[in-house]
Amino acid sequence: MNISRKETITVPVGHLLLGSRFPILIQSMTNTSTSDISATVVQVKNILTAGADMVRIAVPTMKDVDAFKKIRANLRAEGIIAPLIADVHFLPEIAEAVAPWAEKVRINPGNFVDKRQLKKKDFTDSAYREALEKMAQRARPLLEICKQNGTAIRVGVNQGSLSDRIIHRYGNTPEAMAQSAMEWIDICEQADFSQLVFSMKSSRVNTMIEATLLLDNLMEKRGVRYPLHLGVTEAANGMEARVKSTIGICTLLMHGLGDTVRISLTENPENEIHFAKKMLSVYDNYDERCYILQDGTLTVVSQETDMERWWAVVAISAAKHHISKKINHLISNNFHFSLAENEDLAATVMQACRIKIFKTEIIACPSCGRTQYDIQAVLAKVKEKFSDYPGLKIGVMGCVVNGPGEMADADFGIVGSANNKIAIYRKGERVSDFLPIEKALTLMEEVILKFKRE
Ligand code: SF4
């Protein structure tokens, strides 16, 4: 698609340059335990071989800072210079310790200093200002270290982990997400730090799109546009995840936004790269003649024989129109695939756009170095057992650190609680903890059936 990108500043990330004047970069994240250095080195290499430009690694503890350094040293010893991104939540001291060794550090403004405890709901203006100033002060050492080492920072806002303070003022909304990012622009610019990238992620496609458009608008008014990292978080796996990601990312690309992308999949990370490349190729070569929009019915005719490319064609066609709410029915027509497959794809696209709900909405994190159970196997079982409850939302999350917050609005959820143990949640409340997987799934079935009877 021949749409020019809105001009951003250029941000160096290691040897790469990120911004509107350079190609869109593709990235993924490891899901091995970071402390397992050899497994993580192998996975980073696999992700790069698949075609990634850079790779993110979770750094949950101080011990993992040492592991990160060793992973990097091993890769550099083999001549691999791809930028490594350290993913840090909750502990600014870890971000400071790892920053000299990473080309980019990802922090989450919702848990950098502020927290989401869903308790204190009465922020006065002065309490709000005080909390903001506390965050600014706590950020300064990190910004100084990043400046000295040429390390970029991604301010990664997630709807599922906005702080109580922000939610109190703006609600759990796209505006809250954009304002959370703008606070970090203030903090960083006051410290004369501009090596910044921003992302606005949500498991809801429309929220992620709206938040990113709002942030872009605010940056434009401010007179500076930082590069954007695009992705739909907790998209789960298979067709659903690829369709959600394509609609979210490509809608924003059509607005001239997006400088790096990640397809978040609860699968092997290399799959994220394979699909990102296909999606961007379909986007670049998109043929407008593939669809007809008449009286709210979008008919997409495709002769793609590659299933993933076909999904991308239909999702991009829907992305062109769903923001302006012009579609109320979708027909996919590709004779290389069965009628049932065509109908399933159309239903999945409509559900991702929130136009019609046909099945259970399942969100699942892609997992990372914090995950201690086989989330891919559990997600497969959850989909097999619980897919036919339209209107129900189920979360499958890798860890207790971020999982419960990220799936707070799910009706039911599964969260990794210890090695090969999972906890069950209902409406944000823990129902049971430390269960072996089979037992947890049986309990979940009982809880869902009871819920449906109530
Ligand atoms: Fe990692 Fe998933 Fe936990 Fe997020 S919720 S930190 S992706 S394991």
User: 274 pLDDT exceeds 90?
Assistant: yes
pLDDT at 116: 66
- Comparing 94-98, 280-284, 322-326, 419-423, the range with the smallest average pLDDT is 322-326
Ligand 1 centroid, distance to 402 Cα (angstroms): 6
Q: What is the pLDDT of residues 103-145, one digit of tens each?
A: 999 999 999 987 666 565 678 889 899 989 999 999 999 999 9
- Amino acid identity of residue 443, one-letter, is L
Element (H, E) at 166: helix 164-170
Q: How confident is the model at residue 383 (pLDDT cuts 50, 70, 90)?
A: very high
Q: How confident is the model at residue 454 (pLDDT cuts 50, 70, 90)?
A: confident
Atom 6, ligand 1: residue with shortest CA distance: 402
**Spatial separation of the C-alpha atoms in residues 280 and 199, rounded to whole Å:** 18
Q: Is the CB of 422 under 6 A from ligand 1?
A: no
Rounded to 10 degrees, the C-alpha dihedral 200/206/212/214 comes to -130
Written out in words, the top-level CATH class of the domain with range 361-453 is alpha beta
pLDDT at 119: 60
Instruction: Give me the long-range contacts of 91-94 (CB less than 8 A, separation at least 24).
Output: 92/138, 92/139, 92/141, 92/142, 93/62, 94/59, 94/60, 94/61, 94/62, 94/64, 94/65
Candidates 29, 87, 368, 406: which one to mutate for ligand 1, based on the most atoms within 8 Å of Cβ? 368
Q: How confident is the model at residue 234 (pLDDT cuts 50, 70, 90)?
A: very high
User: 47 pLDDT exceeds 90?
Assistant: yes
Please state the rounded mean pLDDT for residues 329-348: 97
Instruction: Answer yes or no: are the C-beta atoms of 385 and 396 closer than 8 Å.
Output: no
User: 64 pLDDT exceeds 80?
Assistant: yes
pTM of the model: 0.95
Q: Is the CB of 371 under 6 A from ligand 1?
A: yes
Query: Exposure of 381 by Cβ count < 10 A (0-12 exposed, 13-18 middle, 19+ buried)?
Result: middle
Chain-wide mean pLDDT for the chain? 94
Lay out the sheet containing 196-201: strands in order across.
196-201, 152-158, 104-107, 84-87, 54-58, 25-29, 260-261, 229-230
**Spatial separation of the C-alpha atoms in residues 32 and 44, rounded to whole Å:** 10
Q: What is the pLDDT of residues 281-334, one digit of tens each?
A: 999 999 999 999 999 999 999 999 999 999 999 999 999 987 777 899 999 999
- Which whole-number Å values give the CA distances from 313 to 41, 361, 440, in the listed order? 34, 22, 38
Q: Is the CB of 404 under 6 A from ligand 1?
A: no
Ligand 1 centroid, distance to 406 Cα (angstroms): 9
Structure tokens at 251: 């809608």
User: 266 pLDDT exceeds 90?
Assistant: yes
Domain boundaries, given as residue ranges, for the chain: 11-284, 288-352, 361-453
**Spatial separation of the C-alpha atoms in residues 239 and 242, rounded to whole Å:** 5
Structure tokens at 363: 């969100």
What is the homologous superfamily of the domain 11-284 according to CATH? Dihydropteroate synthase-like (3.20.20.20)
Measure the CA angle with vertex 205, ends 358 and 183; round to 5°.
150
Q: Is the CB of 248 under 6 A from ligand 1?
A: no
Atom 3, ligand 1: residue with shortest CA distance: 399
Ligand 1 centroid, distance to 365 Cα (angstroms): 6
pLDDT at 282: 98
Q: Is the CB of 398 under 6 A from ligand 1?
A: yes
Q: Is the CB of 72 under 6 A from ligand 1?
A: no
